[in-house]
Amino acid sequence: MRLAYHTITWGGVVGHATGVTSVKDLFYRTNGSMAEAVRDIGAAGYEGTEMFDGNLLDFADEPGTLKGLLDEAGLELVSVYTGANFVYADVLPDELHRVRRAAELAATFGAGRLVVGGGATRSAGIPGEDYDRLGETLDRVTAIAEEHGLEASYHPHLSTIVESPEQLDRLMSRTRIGFCPDTAHLAAGGGDPAALIRRYPDRIRHVHLKDFRPEPFAFLPLGEGTLDLPDIVAAVRESGYDSWLVVELDEYAGHPAEAARTSKAYLDRLLATGR
């Protein structure tokens, strides 16, 4: 397995401000420096990175700049993350326009994977047909990714209609998209991440790792929370997946580079010894 780290830790996650009035422009982004993030990730010993579509958009008119940063740090751009509501028919064309742009950017910068989250929770609750809508739309997302030579996977996420194991089950039977287990989000949604990986071994296409503490609630560097990470990695191995493990930590109280180093040391030890 190869190790990568998401640039999200250098600034957290926000949506592009223009997206408030223009859905087609509602890209994800982190407001930290991508140059600093790439340098720190490479210095920590990772081989790859994942970025938000909005951060790639910043380099769309000067792709050589980002490619140079990645080359200098010895990193591959492994994957690109995007997301949308996916259940509102009238805005869906603009959301898929944005997904297509994310796929174009991913292909431009050499990534092989498109990771998506989403499935909005309505103010009145969750109508059952929204799972049909989400499943159908994720199939369209998969087709867009394939048109650009990318592999697509779905990332269950808190605040969406796919938080709990039961909700994940409802979705997975309705779509062909791959599964990107995020260890902390699955746990925070009431699931056992290792059990859910073992439930869908043939659907694993990407993996997000972060640790989790329920009280007080926090996402944490690997080894600093309550998750059984040895069992999680064992489940990933049992599935036959033997590719990128991406550490994706939303925020950190100290310097992001410190969190990257902490998780890298933990993963190196775990992959070498199994514990």
- pLDDT at 52 exceeding the cut of 90: yes
| Stated pTM of the model | 0.97
**Mean pLDDT rounded to a whole number for the chain:** 97
| pLDDT tens string 106-142 | 999 999 999 999 999 999 999 999 999 999 999 999 9
Q: What is the pLDDT of residues 193-219, one digit of tens each?
A: 999 999 999 999 999 999 999 999 999
Confidence at residue 143, expressed as pLDDT on a 0 to 100 scale: 98
What's residue 202's pLDDT? Answer: 98
**Residue 161, SS3?**
coil
Q: What is the dihedral of CA 71, 101, 201, 163, to 10 degrees?
A: 120
pLDDT band at 83 (very low <50, low <70, confident <90, very high): very high
Q: How far apart are CA 3 and CA 5, in angstroms?
A: 7
Q: Is the pLDDT of residue 274 over 90?
A: no
pLDDT over 70, % of the chain: 100
- CATH for 92: 3.20.20.150
pLDDT at 185 over 90: yes
Parent domain of 26: 2-273
Please state the domain count of the chain.
Answer: 1
Split at pLDDT 50, 70, 90, the class of 259 is: very high
Average pLDDT estimate for 221-235: 98
Number of H helices, E strands in the chain: 10, 12
Q: Indicate if the pLDDT at residue 13 is higher than 90.
A: yes
- Distance set, CA 210 to CA 56, 95, 167, 190 (Å): 23, 28, 21, 16
Judge whether residue 275 has pLDDT over 90. Answer: no
